[in-house]
Structure 1
């Protein structure tokens, strides 16, 4: 019998259920005000108190949404302000969840007594990763992506997923060369943090990544009404789950991005000709009707989304089975240390190949030096012979 710990899962319910059905002992730890998961017949659910209620959580989300909609977004600065407001609310609840669990000595002691074989968590909310590090449990991370490329930095994967070419267009990079100094100085004013989040999550045994942009790893929780044959279009905010539902069921989409990566998601699908994008800030009934009419009546949208859906569904193993397999693999092999990239054991000189670069530079300088000296020697010899002939 193997024990698996799941902490504050954002969207892991199907995997957790399947792990329990296969005979694993799964313990789910969630805040009392959780909106994502509740008790299940296949798992043991433990809750911890937090200083907010479900009603307060829902009210905060509604207030944040209303505040964003009330802001004049005619300039890039006001758009950025709306984005910061959303981040502040998100950060507040993440911090409260972390404090509620990590400062709960009785619950942490109880979790330590279970002697878990693995922890399954989404590192977007870091409380699970921090708890796993504290309890010394091999971690399996399930995520789509992480802000600022933290997942790539932490996993030190030798061949990370390529999400695009340059992270900034050339012109924008040069325009930010001066402004960036001011912005980054403000952001990092608090000083150096001795233990950073990257150090916690770089001990993950397996990373189950779901951001290949044919959406290669679909969300198992597909709403059945989306697959109904009479559904002609799907209105969504462009979150990863809605995208999975639309692509998996071959339904053209009208998308209204609100936050985070949703704008990027929307543009990727618009560029593939399977969706239309609208702005929530200047939305009218007429614009919505025009967009719906376009994706419903223009047959190219349906043809392209059907083709994308066929690619998306064509796989040798179901995503749920794949996720469960790797989670059980980590539990069976006590962390699967043999899969850990060797980059984690290198110092920064070795990791960046500075020793190799230094050696090659030394050889290059030596070759150049010898070549220059040889040329000078030959030149002096030839010059002396020429002078002797002139004297004679």
Structure 2
């Protein structure tokens, strides 16, 4: 081959390499620990395979966020230990198996969230005060912040560095995400958080739903007060965490309307339900010898609970002992998504992602909600079909039907999430998708000034009309009286 051809080939290869560097962006990932990260990691790895450079900001106490060849990690110190963090769940593990009223569970969930996030807000404050870390992050010149807004640190960093944010979430307590994005939530058919209502409500249910909708802003203010304090301390302008969230470029919502109440969404909200159902990988050696034709049961408590009261554990054990083969994830790791390759007869679990996972692969689900939004998740599933173990045939048919609806989409959830993440990087945000409702006050948003103006005009016209009628009546009466007098 001649030297000219070699130079041409090398030049073409160099051009391709340069092209890849230009197209690839820098992404700062600020995840939440636990199952939140397990879903986000799928998107992070796919962005790496698309040629982007990823840096994951990790607290030193993280339990599930580890290093990988797909991304770099920046571990930062926090003013608490893993033991102190786990102590926040001690009360949870004692209370979740106790029967309590809905309002008591709501109070416990709010208190648990405040206790758990308060200690992590201190870790976020340590990041913001770490000048060497902040300087290194600023020098990286990131194109995007990818984060779960369950903690405020990422939104503050995005504001300080003036870079767009993509939120990756299932939802926030008291629907703060919907309030921050100015998403309409008519209480006539959109159930309030933890109300126990469906999208079809009777008059008493609509009264309850309206009352809980009015209460939500106050619950949010109480729940996210420590977030607001942190935001106001580190940003020059006095703002709240909800105001900070409102500047998010795109919201990647980790749910699907196959399992949700139909409701409005904003232009910058994208549904990516099912993204956590990653492609199945080969099973580890200890799981290769699968069950027989009868299938098996997967029993898991998710990523948050590590212990169970001995009495409750014995009850579950005695119940499952007489059934088919059981895989019980009590602690540690279980390749749950990969195990769904065979055909389990029943899947018993409680984590928030389970309805999507089980329905996507047409596997039956027997959930028991413990805390957080799990009660609402199960309530939606029970509304779709009654979970009764005596009707497996009809239940299985319904699961298969929902699975077909869920899978019938033009683009896979992961590809959709990648597209919108890259879209924000290419265009330095998504300002054209931000609604003008963010710039209106409460009176303007509800058009109360216009309604008041129209009422004033109506009353003025009515007043003038009445006066004219009275004037004409008096004239006619006087004319008639004068005529009778002259006669």
TM-score, L = length of structure 1: 0.81
Distance 2:441 2:106 in 1: 38
Q: 1:206 to 1:255 in 2, by over 3 A?
A: same
Matches within 5 A, 1:227-266: 227-237=340-350, 239-266=351-378
Aligned to 1:304: 398
CA distance, structure 2, for counterparts of residue 165 and residue 332 of structure 1:
35
Contact persistence 1:218–1:248 (CA under 8 A): no
CA separation in 1, counterparts of 2:431 and 2:137? 23
Among residues 275, 279, 291, which one is paired with 1:220 in the alignment? 275
Cα deviation, 1:130-172, whole Å, max 9, x if unaligned, reads: 2212221111111121122221221124x56989446363554
How far apart in 1 are the matches of 2:407 and 2:255? 15
Q: 1:5 to 1:58 in 2, by over 3 A?
A: same
Matches within 5 A, 1:65-76: 65-69=92-96, 73=99
Q: Name whichever of 379-388 and 80-89 sits farther off.
A: 80-89
CA gap 1:362/1:226 in 2 versus in 1, 3 angstroms: farther
Answer yes or no: is the 8 Å Cα contact 1:236–1:253 preserved in 2.
Answer: yes
Tell me which residue corresponds to 2:450: 356
Question: How far off is 1:48 after superposition?
Answer: 0.6
2:252–2:272 Cα contact (<8 Å) kept: no
Q: 1:47 to 1:349 in 2, by over 3 A?
A: same
Matches within 5 A, 1:176-191: 187=222
Equivalent position of 2:201 in the other structure: none
Q: Does 1:64 align with 2:176?
A: no
Contact persistence 2:60–2:76 (CA under 8 A): yes
Count residues in correspondence. 364
CA distance in 1 between partners of 2:58 and 2:187 (Å):
33
Deviates more, 1:263-272 or 1:51-60: 51-60
- Distance verdict in 2 for CA 1:268–1:347, change over 3 Å: closer
Residues 385, 229 of structure 1: CA spacing in aligned structure 2 closer, same or farther, 3 A cutoff? farther
Alpha-carbon distance in structure 1 between the residues aligned to 2:211 and 2:440? 36
CA, structure 1 residues 333+58, in 2 after alignment: closer, same or farther (shift >3 Å)?
Answer: same
- Whole-Å separation in 2 of the counterparts to 1:70 and 1:313: 34
Distance in 2 (alpha carbons) for counterparts of 1:212 and 1:390: 82
Counterparts in 2 of 1:76 and 1:319: CA distance versus 1, 3 Å: closer
Question: SS at the partner of 1:376?
Answer: helix
1:328 to 416, 422, 430: 422
Aligned to 1:283: none
User: What is the CA-CA distance between 1:235 and the residue it aligns to?
Assistant: 0.9
Deviation at 1:231, TM superposition (A): 0.4
Partner of residue 4 from structure 1, selected from 23, 27, 31 = 27
Q: Deviations over 1:228-275 (max 9, x none)?
A: 3430111111x3311221111111211110112111111110111163
Distance 1:333-1:124 versus aligned 2 partners, 3 A rule: same
| Match among 447, 461, 464 for residue 367 of structure 1 | 461
Shift of 1:173: 7.2
Q: Please say if residues 205 and 336 of structure 1, whose CA atoms lie closer than 8 Å, have aligned partners that are also in contact.
A: yes
The SS at the match of 1:254 is: strand
SS in 1 for 2:344: coil
- CA separation of 1:77/1:35 partners in 2, compared to 1, >3 Å: closer, same or farther? same
Q: For the residues of structure 1 that align with 2:364 and 2:104, how far apart are their CA atoms?
A: 31
8 Å CA contact 1:252–1:275 kept in 2: the answer is no
From the superposition, tell whether residues 171 and 50 of structure 1 become closer, same or farther in structure 2 (CA, over 3 Å): same
Distance 1:347 1:224, change over 3 A: closer
Query: Cα deviation per residue 1:182-206 (whole Å; 9 max; x = unaligned)?
Result: x97x959x89964310121111111
Cα distance in 1, alignment partners of residues 397 and 444 from structure 2: 50
Deviation at 1:175, TM superposition (A): 9.0
User: Structure 2 vs 1, CA of residues 70 and 270 (structure 1 numbering), >3 Å: closer, same or farther?
Assistant: closer
Q: Distance in 1 between matches of 2:107 and 2:449?
A: 45
Contact 2:170/2:253 (8 A) holds in 1: yes
- Checking the alignment, whether the CA contact within 8 Å between 2:85 and 2:116 is kept in structure 1 is no
1:1-392 aligned at under 5 Å gives the runs 1-9=24-32, 10=36, 11-58=39-86, 60-61=88-89, 63-69=90-96, 73=99, 79=105, 82-157=108-183, 164-165=189-190, 167=192, 169=205, 172=208, 187=222, 194-215=238-259, 217-222=272-277, 223-225=336-338, 227-237=340-350, 239-273=351-385, 275=387, 293-294=389-390, 298-391=392-485, 392=487
State the 1:18 CA deviation: 0.8
Unaligned segments of structure 2, at least 5 residues: 1-23, 196-204, 230-237, 260-270, 278-335
Alpha carbons of 1:214 and 1:36: their partners in 2 closer, same or farther (altered >3 Å)?
Answer: farther
Is the 2:272–2:417 contact (alpha carbons within 8 Å) kept by the matching residues of 1? Answer: no
Report the aligned-residue RMSD.
3.2
